[in-house]
Amino acid sequence: MSLQKQVMTKMKEAMKAKDTVALQALRAVKSAFLLAKTESGAQEDISEEQELKIIQKQVKQRKESAAIFLKQGREDLAAPELAEIAVLEQFLPEALSEEEVSKVVKEVIADLNAEGMKDMGKVMGVVSKKLSGQADGKTISMLVKKNLI
């Protein structure tokens, strides 16, 4: 079942359960899916890879918002953001540990014979494609820098 259908199913469940936090998060994802479909140059359907990227973007936005709220001492505003993150993460593949990501980074560096920071873009591109949805860009970037120096 596609992520869009899963989101719709969960949305119906949230409506029946009167779960406003889950409903708000799922409506935001549905809206992002519709926006991606109607963008100029978009195909009729969006691919599963695009669906994953949309959900990852939604999670990232909420994490950034929650971090800002917590930094400002506004736990009351951070709590709903964190709750929405939990709802959205159920649609993402299980995240890899830092060790597993580091292993993939080292393999890619060896495969590409990458040397130094000048090859960071190539390595980042390949690793990001390999680990799509399983690791965030910040972690990948940090590990690539660490292994290229």
Could you tell me the pTM of the whole model? 0.76
Q: What percent of the chain has pLDDT over 90?
A: 41
Give the model's pLDDT for residue 1. 67
CB 143 within 8 A of CB 101: yes
- Would you state the pLDDT for residue 40? 66
Q: Burial code of 59-81, b = ≥16 C-beta within 10 A, e = fewer?
A: bebbeebbeebeeeeeeeebebb
CATH of domain 98-148: 1.10.10.410
Q: How confident is the model at residue 61 (pLDDT cuts 50, 70, 90)?
A: very high
As a whole number of angstroms, the distance between CA 147 and CA 120 comes to: 10
pLDDT of residue 92: 86
pLDDT tens digits along 14-47: 999 999 999 999 999 999 998 988 886 766 778 8
Distance of CA 81 to the CA centre of its chain: 15
CATH of 3-89 given 1.10.1510.10, 1.20.1090.10, 1.10.600.10, 1.10.3720.10: 1.10.1510.10
**DSSP alpha helices (H): ranges in 18-119?**
20-38, 48-71, 75-89, 98-112
Mean of pLDDT values over 83-99: 88
Alpha-carbon distance of 120 to 149, in angstroms, equals: 10
